[in-house]
A = this chain, B = another copy of it.
Amino acid sequence: MKKPKLQLALDQNSLPEAVAVAHLAGPIVDIVEVGTILELQAGQLAIQTMRKMLPDKMIVSDTKCADAGTTVAENSSKAGADLMTVIDSATQATMQAAKKVMLGIQVELYSAWDFKRAAKWLELGIDQVIYHQSRDALLAGKSWGEQDLTTVRQLIEMGFKVSVTGGLTLKTIPLFAGLAVETFIAGRAITGNSDVRAAAQAFQDKIIEHWGTNV
On A, residues with C-beta under 8 Å from B are 11, 13, 36-37, 39-46, 63-64, 66-72, 75, 87-91, 93-94, 96-97, 108, 110-112, 134-137, 139-140
- The docked-state distance in angstroms from the alpha carbon of A71 to that of B35 is 12
- The docked-state distance in angstroms from the alpha carbon of A96 to that of B137 is 11
Partner of A75, one of B41, B64, B72: B41
Q: Which 9 A-B pairs have the closest CB atoms?
A: A112-B112, A43-B43, A89-B112, A93-B136, A89-B89, A89-B110, A94-B136, A42-B43, A93-B140
Most chain B CB inside 10 Å of its own CB: which residue of A36, A75, A108: A36
How many copies of this chain? 2
Give chain B residues whose Cβ lies under 8 Å from the Cβ of A46.
43
- The docked-state distance in angstroms from the alpha carbon of A70 to that of B37 is 11
Give chain B residues whose Cβ lies under 8 Å from the Cβ of A110.
66-67, 87, 89-91, 112
Residue pair A66, B108 in contact (C-beta under 8 Å)? yes
Partner of A36, one of B42, B66, B70, B108: B66
Residue pair B87, A135 in contact (C-beta under 8 Å)? no
A-B contact pairs, 7 of them (CB 8 A): A37-B68, A37-B75, A64-B87, A87-B89, A89-B112, A93-B137, A94-B134
Residue pair B68, A135 in contact (C-beta under 8 Å)? yes
A41-B44, A66-B87, A93-B140 are known; give 10 further A-B pairs, CB within 8 A: A13-B75, A36-B63, A36-B66, A64-B66, A68-B135, A69-B136, A88-B112, A94-B136, A97-B139, A111-B112
- The docked-state distance in angstroms from the alpha carbon of A53 to that of B182 is 46
With both beta carbons as reference points, the residue of chain B lying nearest to A46 in the complex is identified as B43
Residue pair B93, A36 in contact (C-beta under 8 Å)? no
Give chain B residues whose Cβ lies under 8 Å from the Cβ of A71.
11, 13, 37
Give chain B residues whose Cβ lies under 8 Å from the Cβ of A37.
68, 71-72, 75
Contact A40 B43, CB 8 Å, known A93-B134, A111-B89, A134-B67: yes
Give chain B residues whose Cβ lies under 8 Å from the Cβ of A89.
87-89, 110-112
A138 nearest CB across to chain B (Å): 9
